[in-house]
Amino acid sequence: MKKIYYILLAMLAMSFTFTACSDEDPFSTATADDEPRILDPIFPDRTNGQLPVIATISRNANLTIKLTVTPADHTTISWLIDGNEVQTGTTLDMNLKAGTYGFKVIVSTEAGKSTYREGTVQVNPLSDDPWAIDKGLERIIVPGTKALLYGDNLNKVKSIIIDGKTITDVTYITSEDGNYIEYAVPADLTEGEYRVIFVDADGNEYGANKVNVSRSALVTGGADRTNANKEWVITGINLDQIASLTFAGQAITEFTRQTATEIAIICPELGDGEYKLTGKTKDGEDVQFYNSGIIVTEQTVVVSSETVLWQGRHYVSWDLPDGNPNKMFNLIGKDVFASIKAGATLSIHYSVASEDAYHQLRTTSGWWADLPGTSVIEFSEGGVKEVQLTQEVLDKIQAEDGFLCIGHGYYVDMVTVL
């Protein structure tokens, strides 16, 4: 009996102990010296070195993100959009106009330690909004000149705002190449990157992404390939500022033609191969070259015996409706083929459209009939399709309204003949 009594006393003491522990308030063991960590949400990683898309929303929805961090009691949180701090604290809640934005959140401790996450935010326009797409290099603009923007619902645009400057000299133009607006770039714009704001007749404002204002001599086309001993035409902006070009070690100071948007020279007598091109402006600055999305001061040029018939980036897909210009590639007229002698080789340089799962290329006459001796090719990476231009092929092109590339899921980048 006494033994049972002692057991009951022990159990009672234990119950008091547990009750006392449960009544204590919870407390944090984290200190200001701990490494800061973002616990939630989990941000996506980079893909092939590219910043991830943090969020995709419509422009009538707010960008809302709430962070859980540690050490929570010893951190400050800063939210940045396009490099500018827009909010502090654990929660971001803001509205953005349509466009693509740089995003970054920085978590810092009292001890000076920090961590961050970054990416992009895609804000999509509504279906009826005026909106500008990227068609080429039209977003590189020069102060005091005219510039273009392609897109949708552009007839609603009555004025444009760039760097706080309102532009009312805006003209809406329709064309087979796509509808666009032409506008006067303010002459007093300084160099830099600025967001574009569209304004409609009621004063409503719409995002249209960014433009890059440049006063530098920038080559944007024609500098990657040429033929020896022939006129070589290079295009770009501010090219009237160029004083000299150095190509394959040879200094060129005399040009057959030179304007703000074009410069032409006679290519030196060189064998087929790759050579370096640089240049200097009248102010002694380096000429810049737009190369695969980046700007460089030295351009690699291919000198080839081949003649370029067409160069650009033209998407082809059989999924598109009749009348759509990207249903086919038909940008080389049959008159061009009329001057080509039988026995030449036509080379079609193509690249895959990554958004499409299947890729096929065929070469036909304007009547969609396969050219003699050609075949359908299927591929998963870019390459070159060669077509032997026999007299039979050339006759068919003339008799059946020209030359086409058809198929699905690829871009025609260049067509040459040798």
DSSP string, 178-219: --EEEEEPPTTPPSEEEEEEEE-TT--EEEEEEEEE--S-EE
Please answer whether residues 309 and 416 qualify as being in contact, where contact means their C-beta atoms are separated by less than 8 angstroms: yes
pTM of the model: 0.70
Please report where in the chains the tokens 């309204």 appear, as a residue.
Answer: 401
pLDDT of residue 29: 66
- Domain span at residue 119 reads 37-124
Which of 246, 273, 303 is the C-terminal boundary of a domain? 303
Residues 330 and 396 in one domain: yes
Alpha-carbon dihedral 354, 359, 364, 369, rounded to 10 degrees: -140
pLDDT of residue 16: 41
Residue 246 CB: number of other CB atoms within 10 A? 16
Q: Per-residue pLDDT tens for 350-379?
A: 999 988 999 999 999 999 999 999 999 999
pLDDT of residue 9: 45
pLDDT of residue 418: 87
Which of 242, 274, 303 is the C-terminal boundary of a domain? 303
Residues 319 and 390 in one domain: yes
Residues 79 and 42 in one domain: yes
Instruction: State the total domains in the chain.
Output: 4
Q: Per-residue pLDDT tens for 213-260?
A: 999 999 998 898 898 888 999 999 999 999 999 999 999 999 999 999
For residue 194, give the CATH number of its domain.
Answer: 2.60.40.10
Which of 188, 213, 238 is the C-terminal boundary of a domain? 213
Question: For the chain (length 418 residues), average pLDDT per consecutive 10?
Answer: 46 43 52 87 89 96 96 93 96 96 95 94 97 89 94 96 97 86 96 96 97 93 89 94 96 95 94 95 94 88 89 92 92 92 94 92 95 93 94 95 95 92
